[in-house]
Amino acid sequence: MSTNDQKKPQINSENHDTIGLLAIDNKGNISGACTTSGWAYKLHGRVGDSPIIGAGLYVDNEIGGACATGLGEAVIRICGSHTVVELMRQGHSPNIACKLAVERIIKSHENLEGLQVGFIGSK
């Protein structure tokens, strides 16, 4: 089956995507986890952002952590979770840092159809 023959699922509330979490212990240490349930009908040879350090997950105990979900290729291009943490290092709140990372992704895409990306961040 060629790549063009593979059916791609529609992005909707029934799809499952990357699951990321950040945890802070009672001493203020931050940890994170990122996993993908995979994408039904995943394209052959595709690697998402979850296994790439700094894309799907990044934690710096000195600053904070971030996780990403959505179209992995878009997250990989800006090293998304690392970008969120670096924006927090510059003084942005986690909410603003996530917003700025999403805006960076939007700015780099001419066609936003089917583009779905989100971040969580914590200090």
CATH of the domain at 29: 3.60.20.30
Q: Which of 18, 36, 69, 83 is catalytic?
A: 18
Do 121 and 84 touch, CB atoms closer than 8 A? yes
Is residue 3 annotated as part of the catalytic site, yes or no? no
91 found inside a domain:
yes
**SS3 at position 79:** coil
7 found inside a domain:
no
Ordered per-residue pLDDT tens for the chain, 123 residues: 444 555 555 656 555 567 899 999 999 999 999 987 665 556 667 777 888 899 999 999 999 999 998 888 899 999 999 999 999 999 999 999 999 999 999 999 999 988 889 999 999
Structural domain including 32 reads 14-40+48-122
**SS3 at position 95:** helix
Do 23 and 31 touch, CB atoms closer than 8 A? yes
90-95: long-range pairs with CB below 8 Å, 24+: 93/123, 94/64, 94/66, 94/120, 94/121, 94/122, 94/123, 95/121
5 found inside a domain:
no
70 found inside a domain:
yes
Tell me how many domains the chain contains.
1
6 found inside a domain:
no
4 found inside a domain:
no
